[in-house]
A and B are shown apart, each in its own frame.
Chain A
Amino acid sequence: MSEPVQTNNTESIEAIETISPWREMAGIFFRNYEAVFGLVLLVSIMVFTFIGPFVYTTDPFEMVWAPFTRPGQEGFLFGTDYLGRDILAEMIAGGQVSIAIGLAAAAISVVIGVCIGAFAGYYGGIVEEALMRSTEFFQVLPTLLFSMVIVALFGASLLTVTFAIGIVSWPAVARVTRTEFLRIRELEYVRAARSGSAKDGYLIFRVILPNALPPIIVQANLMVGSAILFEAALSFLNLSDPNVMSWGQVIGSNRTYILDAGFAVAIPGFAIFLTVLAISLIGDGLNDALNPRLRQR
């Protein structure tokens, strides 16, 4: 019974070489110079803020010199702020918080968004109606105002800020996920898996989700950038944890002196700009690498 029916394999591939679809995408990504530049930039920023404290040990909360020392003077690379604290130390400590909040908030919104979008897209009908109407409810709320309300209600701690940012930004992920699920659930390999006796959970998470991931990854990536901006906006409004240094908070606390000491606001602003730029470049590169229409097949 195991005799070959037909050894006629004229269309055979000579060298058996496995190129996984993900590796193929990585290849495209790394040939894109802008994306690689973004990645290098982001990695440098991460090294700066996460390795920095071991090299530059000044406490960011300690008053080390006279306020508003210009950058480069008295041995302070970025100068000092309105309380005479070292801005370089603040940048290092604040970057950790900004990036961590960015990642955590993006993770929260991706988990909520993917679950809601996946169930809505897969089940359709009344489930989809209910889930998408509630998504729209969150979408029409003014996001900054809504997150301010959450922070004002539950207190300004790192956790509530992260949660507030995550909870206002998941609708975009949910919509992208739902669209992909609506498209993919009609494809024949989903039917084929079902005729191979797959259950709903297997179909959603093992069959459809891996194929729906590319646009979700791009969306999640951009979400990190917007979460960093969001956190900056909240700290600027003094709605962030005052005991934790973040880039947004450095801007917020120095904003009254912007005319006298613009550098104290410009330096953290530039750091946020660079980080979000790096993330956007990576997002663009991922979009190109993951978009099958742009890929040569």
Chain B
Amino acid sequence: MINADGDLKVENLKVHFGKKTGLFGGPGQVVHAVDGVSFDVPAGSTLGIVGESGSGKSTTALAIMRLVELTQGKVTLGETIISDLEGDALRSERRRFQMIFQDPYSSLNPRERAGDIVKEPLHLMKIGTKAERDDRVSELFTQVGLRPEQQALFPHQFSGGQRQRLGFAKALATTPGLIVCDEPVSALDVAIQAQILNLMSDLQDQMGLTYLFISHDLGVVQHVCDEIAVMYLGQIVEQADRLSLFSRPRHPYTKALLAAVPTVHGSFVNGKRRLREPGMRIKGDPPSPINPPAGCRFAGRCPKAEDQCHETAPAFRHIDTGHKVACHLV
């Protein structure tokens, strides 16, 4: 089953923070948090976005959700151009795309009862009668693995995993097609992570949900995503389906990222030597997104960088079916 809300299409999304001119007309500081990101997520599938802190992956999620101002770009869900909606039109379309937040401890209003939290979107969008809303909330509680009688509790009476289930119940309340998950399990214990990830895939099977899954945990991404995009300093540097990204990463940054994943087997996976090219370790921090470098943004840390890398930005191009890379050397 695939949801009826259609594909998510993001074209040349840019989110810049700050002002172009400073207080006294001098040059201001503009943070290029997201700088030209494009991708498609077919309905019913999961796209993972990975990257280190500050790579702009969360800002991308918030921009798609229209929770931060877009500087430029177009976001389409099915036939609807989300990025053009304003006011009441935006509020009523919100039923089609919802979000799961990273921190289950700050994403629930501590002064509201669990049932009211889940009911809030239904109430605000005036969906159904009061009795229908109550029924819907009980149904949602069961659906995410909570007991309907827990509706009267306050958020602080739930554990982290249960709180994230509440987050799902709230997001699912309006039966959206797209759910943007911003690091939904990174604040949870490993055992609870697995429960929540299983819940996610069960819900996807039942309702054909489209997921945009933001994470820095490659293991988790490998577990849930059909396709993966790697972000670095506000741009996507590589995008491929799960298998080819993990088995044949092409961009030096992706390679370094995969090489950095700690495993119990040391450098061996399933008895084979892990994919780790010599010198594939990167040092230092990403450059500042206030004045991003002119050429390839990764050039300063790239072990293989050449002169052209520092001068011209590489195009984001197809190198295989469904495998896109932004690198001069591939």
Show the binding face of A for B, using Cβ within 8 Å: 1-9, 11-13, 16-21, 187-189, 191-199, 202, 207, 210-211, 297
Q: Among B92, B111, B195, which residue has its beta carbon within 8 angstroms of that of A6?
A: B195
Would you call A188 and B102 a contact (CB within 8 A)?
yes
Q: Which residues from 3 to 39 on chain B have a C-beta closer than 8 Å to any C-beta of chain A?
A: none
Q: Among A13, A194, A199, A207, which residue has its beta carbon within 8 angstroms of that of B67?
A: A194
Would you call A189 and B198 a contact (CB within 8 A)?
no
Q: Among A1, A13, A198, which residue has its beta carbon within 8 angstroms of that of B124?
A: A198
A contact face: mostly helix, strand, loop, or mixed: loop
Q: A192-B101, A211-B111 are in contact. Are A16 and B161 (CB under 8 A)?
A: no
Q: Among B102, B124, B157, B162, which residue has its beta carbon within 8 angstroms of that of A202?
A: B124
Closest to A5 in B: B202
Closest to B126 in A: A197
| Interface: B225 (CB within 8 A) | no
Would you call A192 and B156 a contact (CB within 8 A)?
no
| Interface: B71 (CB within 8 A) | no
Which residues from A are CB-within-8-Å of B192?
11
How many contacting A-B pairs (Cβ < 8 A)? Answer: 113
B181 vs chain A, min Cβ distance (A) = 12
Q: Can you add 16 more A-B contacts, CB < 8 Å, to A4-B145, A13-B153, A196-B120?
A: A6-B202, A13-B158, A16-B150, A16-B152, A18-B113, A18-B153, A19-B157, A191-B101, A192-B107, A192-B108, A192-B109, A192-B170, A196-B98, A196-B170, A197-B90, A211-B109
Would you call B95 and A197 a contact (CB within 8 A)?
yes
Would you call A197 and B92 a contact (CB within 8 A)?
yes
Q: Which residues from 141 to 175 on chain B have a C-beta closer than 8 Å to any C-beta of chain A?
A: 142-147, 149-150, 152-154, 156-159, 161-162, 167, 170
Count of B interface residues, CB-CB < 8 Å? 52
Would you call B142 and A8 a contact (CB within 8 A)?
no
Which residues from B are CB-within-8-Å of A196?
94, 98, 120-121, 124-125, 170
Which residues from B are CB-within-8-Å of A8?
145, 195
B50 vs chain A, min Cβ distance (A) = 21
Closest to B201 in A: A5
B61 vs chain A, min Cβ distance (A) = 11
B contact face: mostly helix, strand, loop, or mixed: helix
Closest to A211 in B: B111
Q: A6-B198, A197-B94, A198-B124 are in contact. Are A192 and B153 (CB under 8 A)?
A: no
A29 vs chain B, min Cβ distance (A) = 17
B69 vs chain A, min Cβ distance (A) = 12
Q: How far is the CA of A1 from the CA of B170 in the complex (A)?
A: 16
Would you call B154 and A9 a contact (CB within 8 A)?
no
| Interface: B106 (CB within 8 A) | yes
A75 vs chain B, min Cβ distance (A) = 55
| Interface: B99 (CB within 8 A) | yes
Question: Ordered nearest first, which 7 A-B pairs have the shortest CB separation?
Answer: A196-B121, A188-B107, A197-B91, A6-B145, A11-B159, A197-B94, A189-B109
Q: How far is the CA of A18 from the CA of B157 in the complex (A)?
A: 8
Q: How far is the CA of A9 from the CA of B120 in the complex (A)?
A: 24
Q: Among B90, B94, B121, B156, which residue has its beta carbon within 8 angstroms of that of A21?
A: B156
Would you call B153 and A9 a contact (CB within 8 A)?
no
Closest to B167 in A: A192
Q: How far is the CA of A202 from the CA of B109 in the complex (A)?
A: 13
Q: Among B106, B113, B142, B152, which residue has its beta carbon within 8 angstroms of that of A188?
A: B106
Would you call B107 and A13 a contact (CB within 8 A)?
no
Would you call B106 and A189 a contact (CB within 8 A)?
yes
Which residues from B are CB-within-8-Å of A297?
156
Q: A192-B108, A197-B95 are in contact. Are A12 and B199 (CB under 8 A)?
A: no
Which residues from B are CB-within-8-Å of A198?
120, 124
Which residues from A are CB-within-8-Å of B109?
189, 192-193, 207, 211
A121 vs chain B, min Cβ distance (A) = 17
Closest to B173 in A: A196
Q: Among B101, B113, B124, B147, which residue has its beta carbon within 8 angstroms of that of A197?
A: B124
